[in-house]
Amino acid sequence: MKELILVFIAASITNNFVLTYFLGICPFIGVSGKIDSSIGLGIATTFVMTMAATVTWLIYYYILVPFNLVFLQYVTFIIVIASFVQFVEMVIRKVSPPLYKALGIFLPLITTNCAILGLTLFMVLRNYSFLEAVVFGLGAGVGFTLALVIMAGIREDLVFAEVPEPLQGAGITLIIAGMLAMAFMGFGGIISG
């Protein structure tokens, strides 16, 4: 149990996916303009991450490894993720149309979120057990949501600030991300992992 909690905290805070592994930067910089929409995107991504970790773990250890097909790893993982996103999209559309409308274009965008493929690769690299992999997926998703929402909050206020012209847009967002990364470094001492 203790290991699982450690994996969760490491994935969500001390080794935050966005701010230490640079995964999922595209939505982080492109989308995080409003708090509401970033919460929606964060929840959808967390869900896909948890499920993707579960499914790819099973495929990797029960199909690819026993049949010596590890070289197909990247192709398989990306297909699993893409079809999973498609599946989630269909289910949400059927079950809850309002939620589907609220998430809008964010759903298909999740496929190209490098955080998800990165998650599955790290999971294999670190030889996580099945439970650890699931918790790792959940923690990474929570960490992604956290970073996205903080960033959106800062950017909502940034509208009123006077940013030097050349830095407007991507430049200032990157610099803020750097400061956030420094702040998150402060958590580093909690656990090693």
Give the interface with other proteins as residue ranges (CB under 8 A).
19-26, 29-30, 71-75, 78-79, 82, 111-114, 116-118, 121-122, 125, 164-167, 170-175, 177-179, 181-182, 185
Give the CA distances from residue 125 to residues 61, 85, 179, in Å, rounded to whole numbers and listed in that order.
Answer: 13, 23, 29
DSSP string covering 79-131: HHHHHHHHHHHHHHHHH-HHHHHHHTTHHHHGGG-HHHHHHHHHHHHTT--HH
State the minimum distance, in angstroms, from the CB of residue 1 to other proteins: 28
Three-state secondary-structure class, residue 190: coil
d(C-alpha 81, C-alpha 47), whole Å = 12
State the minimum distance, in angstroms, from the CB of residue 164 to other proteins: 7
State the minimum distance, in angstroms, from the CB of residue 77 to other proteins: 8
Name the residue nearer to other proteins (CB basis): 172 or 191. Answer: 172
State the minimum distance, in angstroms, from the CB of residue 140 to other proteins: 13
